[in-house]
Structure 1
Amino acid sequence: MNKFAKVAAASSLLLLASACGGGSDDGSADGGAPEEMTVWIMGDSQPHIVEYFGEAEAAWQEAHPGSALNVEFIPWPDVQTTLTNALAGGDSPDVIEIGNDQSSNWASQGALVDITETVDAWDEAADLDQNALEFASYEGSVYGVPWYSGVRTLYYRADWLGDLDIEPPTDWESLRDAAERINEEHDVPGFCAPTDFTNGIASFIWSNGGEIAVHDGSAWEGRLTDPATREAIEFYADLSADGDVSPSAALGANENDGCLNDMANGNLGMYIDGSWARGAWEGVAEDPAVLDQIETTVLPGADGMAPAFAGGSNLSVWSTTENPEAAAELLQLLAGKEWGDRFAETAGFFPAYPELLEQDKYTSDPLKAAGAEQMTNTQFFPATPNWNSADQEQKILPKAVLEIAQGGDAEEILAGYNDQLTEILNTPVE
């Protein structure tokens, strides 16, 4: 049976998009896998992703004839509700995509299977990005395998920098200098520094040798008041506050709301975004020719390339699967070098295997080369379920930067938010 291939051939993009799954059949196709394996993927169904899974199903069926893949797409706005319902006993998958910053959250709730032994026995796991693999762990056990990654880089108007006879920025000093000169020459902000942008702000902190928080073995300790962290935050806040350097609309905004439209329409010189930005520009650009003038480079740090947060997703085994061994095998297929690399390329991201970043398809593409290089210098946020509360709910770092950019006392502001950050990160996980 090739259920997926039949669905993939259908014209509707939403035939596979569902917020509830069917689970696995009780019947066994070949003694090693059930007649159907359910996979939940985050986001909307897209033709190229559907095609990928059709091909992956064929590879799965080489080892398990008659075992089909039932792939269901969960729109991002529905993820929290859908997974909560699944955990409460609703329809659920065998294998699931989980945002890498959500892995510890769902692991702490008992939603994911401990796959430490599976990973230890899997040869390809040794070649994965080991920091990303550690980020997929919780309390010493592995609950996910990195599937793909995405990093942010610095996008800039190459024609404007060329006319000014200056190179793309490589550090903070050259970033500010380029931004100021763009403003003088073109009367538009030179660099967009949105305050609701933890990923970007973190790169400034890390590049200066600072940390957001550290774990001493028994507890989390906020580091917003450390000199290196404070210096980076003040530098970024100063960029945000300077209306000639950064758009005033970026105060209190994220990169999508405060920067993207201006970049796509020739009203901005530089900003930080991911490899997915090109598609977003095409949706808002009044003159598509502007987009051909935009190039990208690695993130400029205090002195050289800054680390970037390696966003992306893991593949995990859902705790209620009736076929844990088959689910672990399917996870290894999809997250292995061949199919992991295929998905990364298909989805416009980067593979979770550092050695694969050296392939020509990444290094020779002008818009991918910088990302591939940036992938060699990444860092991760505190690996605790409480990080989501500190960042997404309380927005501790964005609020601190905004208040400082608006003229508040940095020492006092950071001391208060550091206490709040430490308290949240050390809240017992229920």
Structure 2
Amino acid sequence: MKRKLIAAIGVAGMLVSVAACGSDDKASSKDPKDRKENLTVWLMGEARTTWPELVKDVNAEFNKKYPNVKVSVQYQQWGDKVKKLDTALGGDKFPDVVELGNTETMQYILNGALGEIDTKKYENSDTWIKGLKDTCSFEGKLYCVPYYASARLGIYNKDMLKAGTGSDVLPQDEAKFLEAMDKVSAELGKKDKRASSLYYPGRYWYAAMSYVAAFGGKIATYDEGAKEWKASLSTPEAQQGLTHFVDLVKKYNKADQTKDEQDHTNVMANEKAAVIYGQAWEAGNVVTGENGNPKLEGKLATAGMPGPNGKALPSFIGGSDLATISKSKNQDLAEDWISIFTNAKSMEVLASKNILPNNEKQLEPLKAKPETAAIANAVPDAWFTPIAPGWAAVEKEESLEKLLLDILKGTSVADATKKADAEINGLINQKA
């Protein structure tokens, strides 16, 4: 899920120095049975709708140790969670535990809002998925705990694929995949000139950067000598990936090529696309979402998206993390609750629901499970956005979307990436 980054908190109490005094040593020295605090936990709505029994069981387990601590779980929605959290952190009624999308963590780390995490308290910490752990890390310290992972993959209409190729299995070699897309395009074109075999919106930067990663490029790299991030989209590898992506957009997208991916599930629901590139849960949106098409029930499948050089297309790693709030007086309780909620037993519950757990060990069996194989196998080689102080500003300015639009409108890849690098360099090291 694309989660928009909001401007930093800017609250005096959110300075890093707060983390050092946020814990209450006197409270932590008490007998657990004598603790009588209230613990407020903010989780996103998925926990209430998809694994409510896990929340209930974790609270029960926590209260075995702390029978007099009241746990209040409050469910949030992605659309307004960041705004609500920023407001809460500016006052004196804030959660002790908060779930953050992994693109949201850095702004709170840099503002000192999150408490430092002690990995010794967490059962799976030695095998946490690196892409998630990285989103919690800054200057050698850890400020949140990986919760669950997700990745993008190919979502396709089996009937459309079979009508064009005679098979409803998505080829996993890119050359064969593109041959299949050519055949599907020809078949779709007989009935609907606006239907796309491979629907890649031109400003879909998550997809574009996946091709950049496939050719060995990066959005930006960290210069250890200068102690700053530097944009690197002008490198030959990044330019090759961008060229490859835009060529696919121009050849296979028969609709408006200048759009982003926000409505690509609607395009598939309207049977205007045979293949899209999205998160696994988006396949459900195609059928049962607000603008879904129930007639496509049972007609969709998922598979790894084939990439260049004989490998699967690297995916952006999505997911959630859990953090304590640095100015909470209950950080020790918060860490204990998180440790139960993310232990092996809890991760097994998520895995049973085809949700990717936070660690490599429990992820491994899901790589062979038909329902999860494609997305689970995409996680180990996934990429992530630069963990830089000004990344929120880069997203806010839509630097990558503007880059792609420039190329689509005819600017050379060399000129467009030079311009984008200059803009990103002016933003990426800014501290809010």
TM range (shorter): 0.7 to 0.9
Q: Tell me how far apart the structure 2 counterparts of residues 289 and 364 of structure 1 sit (CA, whole Å).
A: 26
**What corresponds to 1:150 in structure 2?**
150
- Corresponding residue of 2:365: 359
Q: Is the 8 A contact 1:40 1:97 kept in 2?
A: yes
CA contact (8 A) 1:103 1:136 kept: yes
Structure-2 separation of matches of 1:127 and 1:300 = 27
Q: 1:185, 1:216 → 2: CA distance?
A: 50
Q: Equivalent residue for 2:228?
A: 219
SS in 2 for 1:263: helix
Match in the other structure for 1:208:
215
Q: CA deviation at 1:135?
A: 2.3
List aligned pairs for 1:243-258, cutoff 5 A.
Answer: 245-254=252-261, 256-257=262-263
Aligned to 1:423: 426
Query: 1 CA distance for matches of 2:202 and 2:324?
Result: 36
Shift of 1:108: 0.6
Match of 2:69 in 1: 67
* RMSD (CA atoms): 2.5
2:198 is paired with a residue of what secondary structure? coil
CA distance in 2, matches of 1:294, 1:364: 17
Superposed displacement of residue 178, structure 1 = 2.4
In structure 2, do the counterparts of structure 1 residues 261 and 109 end up closer, same or farther at CA, with 3 Å as the change threshold? Answer: same
1:356 maps to a residue whose letter is Q
CA distance in 2, matches of 1:327, 1:190: 48
C-alpha displacement at 1:32, in angstroms?
6.3
The 3-state SS of whatever aligns with 1:252 is: coil
Give the aligned partner of residue 234 of structure 1: 243
Q: Equivalent of 2:388, from 375, 384, 388?
A: 384
* Matched residue SS, 1:424: coil
Q: Which amino acid aligns with 1:64?
A: Y
Corresponding residue number in structure 2 for 1:349: 355
How far does residue 326 in structure 1 lie from its aligned partner after superposition?
1.3
Counterpart residue type for residue 126 of structure 2: A
Mind listing any 5+ residue stretches in structure 1 that lack a counterpart? Answer: 1-23
Q: CA deviation at 1:69?
A: 1.8
Task: State the one-letter code of the partner of 2:320.
Answer: S
Amino acid at match of 1:328: E
Shift of 1:357: 2.0
Which of 296, 301, 304 does residue 295 from structure 1 map onto?
301
Classify the secondary structure of the residue corresponding to 2:410.
coil
- Could you say what secondary structure the match of 1:249 adopts? coil
Q: Distance in 2 between matches of 1:57 and 1:121?
A: 17
Tell me, what secondary structure is at the counterpart of 2:161? helix
Q: In the alignment, residue 406 of structure 1 is paired with which amino acid?
A: K
For 1:41 and 1:288, locate their aligned partners in 2 and report how far apart those are by CA, in whole Å. Answer: 30
CA positional deviation for 1:267? 2.0
Aligned residues: 395
Q: Distance in 2 between matches of 1:285 and 1:87?
A: 36
Displacement of 1:370: 0.9
Counterpart of 1:277, as a letter, is: E
What is aligned with 2:7?
none
Is structure 2 residue 381 aligned with structure 1 residue 370?
A: no
Alpha carbons 2:44, 2:78 under 8 Å: kept: yes
Shift of 1:89: 2.1
Deviation string 1:199-232 (CA, Å, 9 cap, x unpaired) is 2222111111111111022111111111111111
TM-score after normalising by structure 2: 0.84
SS at match of 1:350: coil
Residue pairs, 1:32-71, within 5 angstroms: 33-43=35-45, 46-71=48-73
CA gap of 1:334–1:123, structure 2 versus 1, over 3 A, is closer
SS of 1:307's partner is coil
Residues in 2 aligned to 1:379 and 1:194: alpha-carbon distance in whole angstroms: 20
The one-letter amino acid of 1:236's match is F
**Correspondent of 1:272 among 256, 260, 277:** 277
Report which stretch shifted further, 128-137 or 336-345: 336-345
Deviations 1:211-265 (Å, cap 9, x if unpaired)? 11110221111111111111111121122233xx1142352222x31x2122223
User: 5+ unaligned residues in a row in structure 2: which ranges?
Assistant: 1-23, 190-194
Aligned to 2:81: 79
Which residue number in structure 1 is paired with residue 267 of structure 2?
262
| Residue 192 (structure 1) aligned with residue 195 (structure 2) | no
The code of the aligned residue for 2:298 comes to D
Q: Is the 8 A contact 2:115 2:324 kept in 1?
A: yes
Separation in 1 of the partners of 2:422 and 2:152? Answer: 29
Return the offset for 1:424.
1.1
User: Quick check: 1:56–1:334 contact (8 Å CA) kept in 2?
Assistant: yes
> Is residue 149–residue 344 contact of structure 1 (8 Å, CA) maintained in 2?
no
Contact 1:119–1:125 under 8 Å retained in 2: yes
Contact 2:214 2:313 in 1 (8 A): yes
Q: Does residue 394 in structure 1 map to residue 397 in structure 2?
A: yes
State the identity %.
23
SS of the residue corresponding to residue 99 of structure 2 reads strand
Give the letter aligned to residue 198 of structure 1.
W
Q: Report SS of the residue matched to 2:218.
A: coil
8 Å CA contact 2:124–2:359 kept in 1: the answer is no
- Find out whether 1:324 has 2:327 as its counterpart: no
| Change in 2 beyond 3 A, CA 1:397/1:122 | same
Q: Distance in 2 between matches of 1:260 and 1:209?
A: 29
Q: In structure 2, what is the Cα distance between the partners aligned to 1:174 and 1:422?
A: 39
Q: 1:174 aligns with which of 173, 176, 184?
A: 176
Of 304, 311, 319, the residue aligned with 1:312 is 319
Could you tell me how far apart the structure 1 residues matched to 2:386 and 2:172 are?
27
- 1:45 deviates by 7.4
Contact 1:315-1:335 at 8 Å conserved across structures: no
